[in-house]
Amino acid sequence: MNKTILLAAALSILTSNLFVSCGKQKKQYIYNKGEIFGTYYSIIYAQREHIDLHQNIRQKMQEFDNSLSTFNRQSVISRINAGGDSVPVDSYFEKMFLTALRISRRTYGAFDITVAPLVNAWGFGFGNRERADIPNVDSLKRFTGYEKVRLENRMLLKENKYIMLDASAIAKGYASDVVAALLEENGCTDYMVEIGGEVACKGVNPQGRKWRIGIDVPKDDAAAQNREIQTVVNISNMSLATSGNYRQFYYLNGKKYSHTIDPRTAYPVQHNLLSVTVIAPTCMEADAYATAFMVLGVDSALKICESIEGMDCYLIYTDNRGENRVKYTPEFEKYFFND
């Protein structure tokens, strides 16, 4: 979900190696960027041994892709979607699945990785993208529902072989966590990992401050050519993800259809919530809950978020006059940037 602008000074860096004074020592910051999972990534980290870890990061991302990418036909999730009932899952898949199941229960089904048939039917997934007609989704409901899948002996069991999984609303956040763990294994205590707008960070940026991240004004801009900043937040030792309906959408017969599908109704959401930014201890949680909150709407999102320890959210919605308004959990205010 390419939905945040990273205002950390790192994104204006023109060289790959930066130095910043930290007491009497010098920290070397290394900047890696590229494409993965059909999106872009930016990674900045201080490495004590002055070693560029980009090759290790790319290898770790490829391992992850081989597990959870629905666009990789040989991945674990793709083989499961192809009807395999004896596909052994790996540790990446298992952790994703168990986390997704917990979030599905916590959000009363607003988050559901079995939504793949519906996402495909509406032209947003890895299936048909013709978008010529309104799909008949009623027949697909029997193939969706997180209660219809379970793990047993490291195998995913499905009530119906036509059930398919879509981890796109949790995987990029999870990937950010995975890369962050790799950096920590290599002694990095100051880093920012951003994959497709999902951010995991720790320590300080090259200026010795918390990482600064901008939240977009949610306006229809599929090509992301006219981005504006709604607000800026400061975070450290936390993760951030944003979900919204202003990047992926299309119009059919004069009506807008967004990529956020409500698994409970089988239709794209149509309420007044425009975007959700979640700050949480892990990026996988932030990513998944941001999607779930987009489905739930303003009041339900705030209520659930406030009940989860260590999590906060920032919501942008339209009022009765069509003007943008914001609401956020009480603790979110501590993240606002003040120079």
pLDDT of residue 245: 76
Q: For residue range 271-296, what is the model confidence (pLDDT) as tens digits?
A: 889 999 999 999 999 999 999 999 99
| pLDDT at residue 223 greater than cutoff 70 | no
In a domain, 80, yes or no: yes
* Helix, strand, coil percent content, the chain, rounded in steps of 5: 30, 30, 40
| pLDDT at residue 24 greater than cutoff 70 | no
Q: For residue range 154-175, what is the model confidence (pLDDT) as tens digits?
A: 999 999 989 999 999 999 999 9
Q: For residue range 57-76, what is the model confidence (pLDDT) as tens digits?
A: 999 999 999 999 998 999 99
Does residue 34 sit in helix, strand or coil?
Answer: strand
Q: For residue range 323-336, what is the model confidence (pLDDT) as tens digits?
A: 999 999 999 999 99
Average per-residue pLDDT for the chain: 87
Full residue range of the structural domain in which residue 123 is found:
63-168
In a domain, 154, yes or no: yes
Q: For residue range 294-307, what is the model confidence (pLDDT) as tens digits?
A: 999 999 999 999 99
In a domain, 39, yes or no: no
In a domain, 77, yes or no: yes
pTM: 0.88
Check: CB of residue 25 under 8 Å from CB of residue 170: no
| pLDDT at residue 23 greater than cutoff 80 | no
Cα 269 → chain centroid: 18
Instruction: Tell me the C-alpha distance between 41 and 78, whole Å.
Output: 23
In a domain, 11, yes or no: no
CATH number of the domain that residue 148 is part of: 1.10.3980.10
Confidence class for position 264, pLDDT limits 50, 70, 90: very high
Confidence class for position 136, pLDDT limits 50, 70, 90: confident
In a domain, 29, yes or no: no
In a domain, 206, yes or no: no
The owner of tokens 């059930």 is: 163
In a domain, 160, yes or no: yes
How many independent structural domains does the chain possess?
Answer: 1
